[in-house]
Structure 1
């Protein structure tokens, strides 16, 4: 109750107002000329493939400007959580997974397509390591809640995140920023140069270098885990030989090494109390951490065909990555430290994707407006898994073992889509959208015993293929009840393709494939801009149901995952925010959400911890699991309440200097962060985190000096948790993925 009250007091109670904090969108997804905001409330977005004022878009969405994200050194998708209620990013040693309204694709099965898809400059990036470089030098990030199947299409059953990077400027400019983090004892350096090369060609080059230590002390190595070493670069060229044609090419490269992990041990009872130390020696597979190299290319062209515009979006992405996991070996309860690594694994990955979209836009201002297009992509993916055991006291005998597996997949999809808007009157619009997507996949899996006297996991193989089609329609009614006050109602469906189990040992043909999942959403909302833009107040209510929900749930009894389709689940709630621009030197915004999400029907589910405790489900009895049903139980990784408050004030110190102070309070109520929803080790208590930026700059922003503090109250939160049981480890324990603790940095920069 205390945390719930904190969140409400921080502004999450403004659930009755949905929208966003201030953002300045300067460049559309298709790289058309920037549309500037005339008032604080006029934020231009491209959520419907056109430049539109955010307040005119009938979607519950949040928008963060690149400047706002940069102010608090946002480096990845997890940073968006602070600004977008009802959005959660799960941290694990595998893939970081985005959840919207409680729905997402669990990270355990690496080959899952995501229910919330990321788009970078219009290019689909469905895997977290596919886009290592997008969160720097940005124009904006758009978070769209609910199914977006009609216009975005590719696997957006729960929502979509669209990242738009900064483009070339009409006049020469540049910037350089250097940050030193006192707690992580390292640097973060970034900069860009931009401007015209000729009358028809503009360019922008951006670069970022990060080298910082971590926030968890590894007592075995004397190292602060996880150390981050990262290089990012992006080159953008925009060619505009005439008013009827332009073409923009973006090429970005990322090299990211993470040395060490983020797991700490915790007792299985007594709740989550993560420490900031761990004990983990190097395993036979190598040094724990991740190493990723990625490339993303995009080409966006616009051709004027009379009053119509033909747009082409071409994308290519590639990554090569390796994840090596170990698990903290500090024995909970004062038992000291063991010197062996009881279990460890590695996941080398290789992926490439090509995509092409063509769409045509009709002119605006007509009685009937439309967007129509076609889309195609193909990809290949290879995942190796290397899993080892070093158990010294297994039934009184030492045991060393290693089992490897390989998964290969080829995928191809195409779709046709369209959206039409009938302007019945100047105030009333009816919008209909439809997309058909066809997907083909072919995959194979094989495992083998490398060494060991016997296998703790069955050795198996599988292969399969699928060919499926999905139809995603939507209908929206939109009415302007007053100048700058709009109401809307939407019905829509989304879908995510089926697939295969990629990294569960013991997989056979019978358990290899899973079906597509589908969502249906009902939503109604109001968006209002009042008092000449000084007040922005929005509200939305939604009811979203998933059928054949794809899940992958950890079973500690066998230290394996059950992957397949749950029957159905429903999420319903409210989303909202309020923004006040009280003066040119002061503004405050708050956004919040209430969510109620439960399984409607989930037969054959793995036992929850409470079911084991009350005897209603026996995890060692296949018949008991087959008869288990989680209908009425909540889903993990979802809070009832989420919200944030942002306040900014500016003070003129003199005719030459100014002081800017920006504070953010972001929080959420408690949620289960373990698959088995353990009330002991699997509950993250509610929290509020406070960030603060204090900046001194000249009046023209040519230079600045800032002190930036994140998580100032040092809240120790856990992104994910699971039970590592005996005999996999010598002492059964909970493994917690600890999120970053308090850190304070000094930043200096200049522009030219």
Structure 2
């Protein structure tokens, strides 16, 4: 670890030494400055850095969605789950463990905690492959960029399905600050946030942002007489930007978050009918402590930009760590049992520790030439430890009571390095070809061991495993881009992505033979058109795609054995179309709509866990899910947002924003049960009505989320006997209606 610290320090030192080199402002810094000045009313001027250069989003040949920090704050969106209403073909699976992002139907299931994610999250350029690294990054943001499809070159660290890039707000040229407070009537508590920003000297600027939440949950627990899950959260981010001249800048950011959910989100439902999630549950404190999720995390980043002549050199140094624990129990209410409670139960806990250090360096050529390029290298090193404490209180196992607990521990050390490049050859002023290539080598060492803590015998196998992985992947892509006019651009793309192999971290009974799974690889074909028409009053974009995965990494729950099957499916394909339309018909009024259609199926999946719809004679040894759909993927998703401003005299104004977002039905249980495992199609309505002064110095607002109070579930599974006296479906209920008032002022 000493060597890691030296690399972290050397990244900062190298950037400091480069400060003496004469240079112009770096592309990354220009992008940040440009994006800060973008008016919220026009999506035609949104500046993004998806290609590591400052570009108008309409000039980027990638299917992507950009959500501004202002849009996120309007509806108090603090995590990826709440953001999915604005991003078609994106789904966030809600569980009591990890929340997982799926793009175009593909993601890494939450059951195996050691999975690197197929959809990677980046916070200010720092890779966050585990959800605990950045559970609450969505505050005081500049924007969020959602890139759909493999991004193997410039976001090459495990981005087989897509990437989400979070860019936080930076220091301002003038001193300013903001304080806002929201009180939720349904969650019965406040959400307070704010920032202070400005210059310390002529060369040094700062920004400090904070967020404090104290809110109850949305599910009544009859055992504890409280609403689950109660949220207590504190997050603070500090930023310093040093700019000793117009030629160099270095930005350092530190973020700390302490997030605690007390209580769970599981409710019971019938196995013989469609999902019927209730607003109440029954669960007392378990032998492992109070149910809930607790996480403390740190994220540090340093970004330096300098030029050698016309060439921009960027160094990004990152450090991330978290210390977390999850204590799970499951609602014990028997559906249709008049509030009866089963005494049988299974409960578990997952303490986690993680730390990661990373270094990236890249060189950007000047633009406006026949040939432009980006080259770079990346390295990271991480330690991960996961414990599993699993208890069983079963009254009628083999005709007698059983009380027992089995613990396991998993350790992993991982290191990866890569070299990448992207070149753009401008054949003419209107036609260009873009080629990219990334080479990645990953090394992992892991071990697993379980033991019987107490009990007459182990009802799960006691085992141990040890393994190592050394592998290399190459991810190329080619894009042909053509400007039909100054307002219409089209592109064709072929590209590959990959995600490294790994280990089975928390499945009891794991042995050397089942410990390791293979890397997954994706291939993407995509064509799209981006257009800005009628003097920027209409922005219309569309893309079609076909994405194929080989050796798709899966972890599927098997109710028959109450265990998980983790490994590689042979192949799966997603095909679809994505489109967006923004209309600005008159000043102070705009409508934005986006939608997608996708069809996601397994092409070949031998050895798969049996689905609920398959015959009782099915066994994994002979099963193949070729032609079956993939779970957690709706065929249709879409949203419509309307925003209008009404001036009241010369001094005041009303701002009204309404959002309708929905998706068609989808399987949200691993066994794809046609009864308890289907979330029916739904539409949710959000509304914000704000009154304030014309200069945005103060405001009062009503904020309503899920106004029609749709009860939806993020995932489901069948809890079988003998774990429960009466088999039932367990549903993970998503947040219900939330009505709130908000006030804020800016200085």
The answer to whether TM tops 0.5 is yes
The runs of 5 or more residues in structure 1 that have no matched partner are 1-26, 619-623
Kept after mapping to 1: 8 A contact 2:324/2:351? yes
Among 346, 350, 354, the alignment partner of 1:351 is 354
The superposition leaves residues 3-59 of structure 1 with CA deviations (integer Å, 9 ceiling, x where unpaired) of xxxxxxxxxxxxxxxxxxxxxxxx957875335448541110000000000000000
Match status 1:285 vs 2:288 = yes
Query: What are the within-5 Å matches in structure 2 for residues 360-439 of structure 1?
Result: 360-439=363-442
Runs of 4+ in 1 over 2 A off after TM superposition: 27-40, 335-341, 393-396
Match status 1:265 vs 2:268 = yes
Shift of 1:625: 1.7
Match status 1:474 vs 2:477 = yes
Aligned-partner Cα distance in 1 for 2:208–2:238: 5
The runs of 5 or more residues in structure 2 that have no matched partner are 1-26
Q: In structure 2, what is the equivalent of residue 89 of structure 1?
A: 92
Match status 1:741 vs 2:736 = yes
Aligned-partner Cα distance in 2 for 1:669–1:426: 43
Shift of 1:339: 6.2
Q: In structure 1, what is the equivalent of residue 33 of structure 2?
A: 33
Query: What are the within-5 Å matches in structure 2 for residues 194-209 of structure 1?
Result: 194-209=197-212
Aligned-partner Cα distance in 1 for 2:30–2:283: 48
Q: In structure 2, what is the equivalent of residue 216 of structure 1?
A: 219
The superposition leaves residues 598-634 of structure 1 with CA deviations (integer Å, 9 ceiling, x where unpaired) of 000000101000003xx4x43xxxxx32111000000
Kept after mapping to 1: 8 A contact 2:31/2:54? no
Query: What are the within-5 Å matches in structure 2 for residues 497-508 of structure 1?
Result: 497-508=500-511
Kept after mapping to 2: 8 A contact 1:178/1:190? yes
Aligned-partner Cα distance in 1 for 2:430–2:30: 28
The superposition leaves residues 694-719 of structure 1 with CA deviations (integer Å, 9 ceiling, x where unpaired) of 00010111000000000000000000
Kept after mapping to 2: 8 A contact 1:327/1:735? yes
Aligned-partner Cα distance in 2 for 1:355–1:576: 36
Kept after mapping to 2: 8 A contact 1:667/1:689? yes
Q: In structure 2, what is the equivalent of residue 730 of structure 1?
A: 725
Q: In structure 2, what is the equivalent of residue 244 of structure 1?
A: 247
Higher RCO (Cα < 8 Å, 6 or more apart): 1
Aligned-partner Cα distance in 1 for 2:680–2:388: 33
Shift of 1:223: 1.1
Q: In structure 2, what is the equivalent of residue 443 of structure 1?
A: 446
Kept after mapping to 2: 8 A contact 1:29/1:164? no
Kept after mapping to 1: 8 A contact 2:599/2:635? yes
Shift of 1:395: 3.7
The superposition leaves residues 162-192 of structure 1 with CA deviations (integer Å, 9 ceiling, x where unpaired) of 0000000011110000000000000000000
Q: In structure 2, what is the equivalent of residue 641 of structure 1?
A: 636
Aligned-partner Cα distance in 2 for 1:120–1:351: 17
Q: In structure 1, what is the equivalent of residue 16 of structure 2?
A: none
Change (3 A) 1:37 1:210: closer
Aligned residue for 2:381, secondary structure, equals strand
The superposition leaves residues 399-423 of structure 1 with CA deviations (integer Å, 9 ceiling, x where unpaired) of 1000000000000000000000001
Change (3 A) 1:29 1:454: farther
Query: What are the within-5 Å matches in structure 2 for residues 288-367 of structure 1?
Result: 288-338=291-341, 340=343, 342-367=345-370
Match status 1:464 vs 2:467 = yes
Aligned-partner Cα distance in 2 for 1:380–1:639: 36
Q: In structure 1, what is the equivalent of residue 584 of structure 2?
A: 581
Aligned-partner Cα distance in 1 for 2:732–2:169: 33
Aligned-partner Cα distance in 1 for 2:135–2:641: 27
Aligned-partner Cα distance in 2 for 1:29–1:155: 26
Kept after mapping to 1: 8 A contact 2:688/2:704? yes
Match status 1:484 vs 2:487 = yes
Shift of 1:304: 1.4
Shift of 1:482: 1.0
Aligned-partner Cα distance in 1 for 2:202–2:415: 40
Q: In structure 1, what is the equivalent of residue 15 of structure 2?
A: none
The superposition leaves residues 308-327 of structure 1 with CA deviations (integer Å, 9 ceiling, x where unpaired) of 11000000000000000000
Shift of 1:394: 2.4
Kept after mapping to 2: 8 A contact 1:40/1:533? no
Aligned-partner Cα distance in 2 for 1:433–1:29: 23
Shift of 1:122: 0.3
Aligned residue for 1:491, secondary structure, equals strand
Kept after mapping to 2: 8 A contact 1:326/1:341? no
Aligned residue for 1:151, secondary structure, equals coil
Among 518, 522, 525, the alignment partner of 2:525 is 522
Query: What are the within-5 Å matches in structure 2 for residues 608-619 of structure 1?
Result: 608-612=611-615, 615=616, 617-618=617-618
Aligned-partner Cα distance in 1 for 2:729–2:29: 44
Aligned residue for 2:632, secondary structure, equals coil
The superposition leaves residues 299-342 of structure 1 with CA deviations (integer Å, 9 ceiling, x where unpaired) of 00001111111000000000000000000000112253336361
Among 554, 557, 569, the alignment partner of 1:554 is 557
Aligned-partner Cα distance in 2 for 1:46–1:79: 23
Aligned-partner Cα distance in 2 for 1:557–1:683: 19
Kept after mapping to 2: 8 A contact 1:709/1:745? yes
Aligned-partner Cα distance in 1 for 2:161–2:724: 37
Q: In structure 2, what is the equivalent of residue 120 of structure 1?
A: 123
Shift of 1:474: 0.2
Query: What are the within-5 Å matches in structure 2 for residues 612-691 of structure 1?
Result: 612=615, 615=616, 617-618=617-618, 624-691=619-686
Kept after mapping to 2: 8 A contact 1:216/1:262? yes
Kept after mapping to 2: 8 A contact 1:279/1:337? no
- The count of residues paired between Structure 1 and Structure 2 equals 719
Aligned-partner Cα distance in 1 for 2:300–2:292: 27
Q: In structure 1, what is the equivalent of residue 542 of structure 2?
A: 539
Aligned-partner Cα distance in 2 for 1:30–1:711: 38
Q: In structure 2, what is the equivalent of residue 7 of structure 1?
A: none
Among 455, 461, 466, the alignment partner of 1:452 is 455
Tell me the TM-score normalised to structure 2 length: 0.95
Among 707, 711, 714, the alignment partner of 2:706 is 711
Q: In structure 2, what is the equivalent of residue 3 of structure 1?
A: none
CA RMSD, 1 decimal: 1.2
Aligned residue for 2:614, secondary structure, equals helix
Q: In structure 1, what is the equivalent of residue 229 of structure 2?
A: 226
Shift of 1:143: 0.1
